[in-house]
Copies of this chain bind each other. A is one copy, B any other.
Amino acid sequence: MAGADVPTRLLQAAGRVFADKGYQAATVRDICAEAGVNVASVNYYFGDKSALYVAVLTRARQVRAERYPLPRWSPGTSADERLRDFIGVMLQRMVAAPESGWNTRLMLREVLEPTGFCDRLVQQYFRPLFEILVGILRELLPEGTPGHVVHQVGFSVIGQCLYYRVAQPVLALLVPTEERAAWFQPQQLADHITRMTLAALGAGPTLKELDASAPDAGCVPADAGPARDGAACVFDAPLLQRAEPLLSVDDVDH
């Protein structure tokens, strides 16, 4: 991380610092200290602070999409399987990002407090994603479902995914540490959201039905590994087959 060339080091350090403190509160001196370079470097290589910010944001979007890509579905893939995949990838991008995801925090910040770059971000990144989700939901909903209902269901899906990132500090104070470690891993959350959504649409069993079909299921906590000796896990059965491993690199660059 310290051996790369100066512009790269700046981009990486700036990502962390901007995400931590926000655009205004992050100082050029902070960033340069973190990167281990001189203060003048940011102006030398990027022109000014705001240009560095735009560069960081652009890079964050690219890296996100490349590192956690949507699978390329074969034509016959069913809609609910694609929904599972979609939610899984969303959640990975949200919470599985390295270093607890300055990447995501940065984009959230931009959404909450648009700095003018937000529009482009939405048009280039969020909108295509949302279109894909809407396409999936249209297949799952009855034909002729009004557009606004499809949209609302879409936002319900994204809203659930987003929450586990937005409210991470809150969640940490509401749910005991052991429970979080055992039941709030990305894959488990993805399963939960998928189940909720499919059930709401009528395309899958409701939580009540799930419970009735396996009333005594002792769900498998995250660190229990593959010791699936007893009854099939009801609430936490792995639904994501093609989930990439959760990388633990320290930054967006290798």
Binding site for B on A (CB under 8 A): 21-25, 105, 108-109, 111-114, 118-119, 122-123, 126-127, 130, 141-142, 144-149, 151-153, 155-156, 158-164, 166-167, 169-171, 173-175, 179, 182-184, 189, 192-193, 195-197, 199-203, 206-209, 211-212, 215, 219, 235
Q: Which residue of B lies closest to A148 (CB)?
A: B183
A57 nearest CB across to chain B (Å): 15
Are B179 and A148 in contact, with the CB atoms below 8 A? yes
**A-B contact list, 21 entries, CB within 8 Å:** A21-B24, A122-B173, A127-B174, A130-B174, A141-B208, A145-B211, A146-B235, A147-B179, A149-B192, A152-B184, A152-B192, A153-B192, A155-B163, A155-B164, A156-B192, A159-B167, A196-B200, A199-B199, A200-B206, A201-B207, A202-B206
Secondary structure class of chain A's binding surface, majority of residues: helix
Q: Which residue of B lies closest to A141 (CB)?
A: B207
Contact of A173 among B119, B146, B159, B196 (CB under 8 A): B119
Most buried by B among A144, A164, A206: A206
Known A-B contacts A148-B184, A170-B111; A206 and B199 likewise in contact (beta carbons under 8 Å): yes
A121 nearest CB across to chain B (Å): 9
Are A149 and B207 in contact, with the CB atoms below 8 A? yes
Known A-B contacts A142-B208, A196-B156, A199-B206; A173 and B127 likewise in contact (beta carbons under 8 Å): yes
Top 5 A-B pairs, shortest CB-CB distance:
A159-B163, A202-B206, A202-B208, A148-B183, A24-B25
